[in-house]
């Protein structure tokens, strides 16, 4: 009976591990693909005049190198991004510094990421958008 319980426990643990490994894998897309860990960040309450830093981490889940052409946002956001190509399977991030000095109300700020890679369906350059939300405290 102890041997049966032991085998049953081993089978249960093996099943759990297989499921955990399967959930950790990302889907690979033919061509270029940029998958963000969190495409939206809530930075919470911000006192007017404060600055907040954040990062938007991504993985190249495609089969070709990703090349970011430019990243843009509102004048309240200073942005930085990788200038080198991100190879398939590699990770990168877009960093943002939010300056609340000129803001008068809470809002959601969008950050546009334009890639040099072409969308295979449309033939146009690829585009991604991430965002952050803040609650302004005056």
Other Cβ atoms closer than 10 A to 124 = 8
- Tell me the pLDDT band of 9, cut-offs 50, 70 and 90: very low
Of the two residues 109 and 14, the one the predictor is more confident about is 109
Of 45-54, 55-64, 120-129, minimum mean pLDDT range: 120-129
Q: Is 55 in contact with 105 (CB distance < 8 Å)? A: no
What pTM, to 2 d.p., does this model score?
0.78
- Positive or negative, the CA dihedral 15, 18, 24, 25 is negative
Other Cβ atoms closer than 10 A to 89 = 12
The domain made up of 34-137 is a member of CATH 3.30.750.24: no
3-state secondary structure of 2: helix
pLDDT at 137: 95
Q: Is 33 in contact with 92 (CB distance < 8 Å)? A: no
Q: What residue spans define the domains of the chain?
A: 34-137
């Amino acid at each position: 009976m102890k041997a049966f319980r032991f085998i049953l426990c081993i089978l249960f643990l093996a099943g759990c591990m297989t499921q955990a490994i399967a959930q950790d894998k990302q889907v690979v897309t033919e061509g270029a693909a940029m998958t963000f860990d969190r495409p939206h960040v809530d930075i919470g309450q911000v006192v007017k005049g404060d600055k907040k830093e954040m990062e938007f981490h991504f993985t190249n889940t495609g089969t070709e190198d990703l090349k970011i052409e430019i990243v843009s946002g509102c004048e309240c956001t200073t942005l930085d991004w990788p200038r080198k190509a991100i190879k398939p399977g590699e990770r990168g991030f877009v960093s943002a510094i939010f300056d609340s000095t000129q803001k008068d109300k809470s809002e959601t700020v969008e950050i546009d990421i334009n890639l040099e890679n072409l969308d295979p369906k449309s033939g146009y350059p690829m585009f991604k958008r991430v965002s952050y939300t803040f609650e302004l405290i005056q």
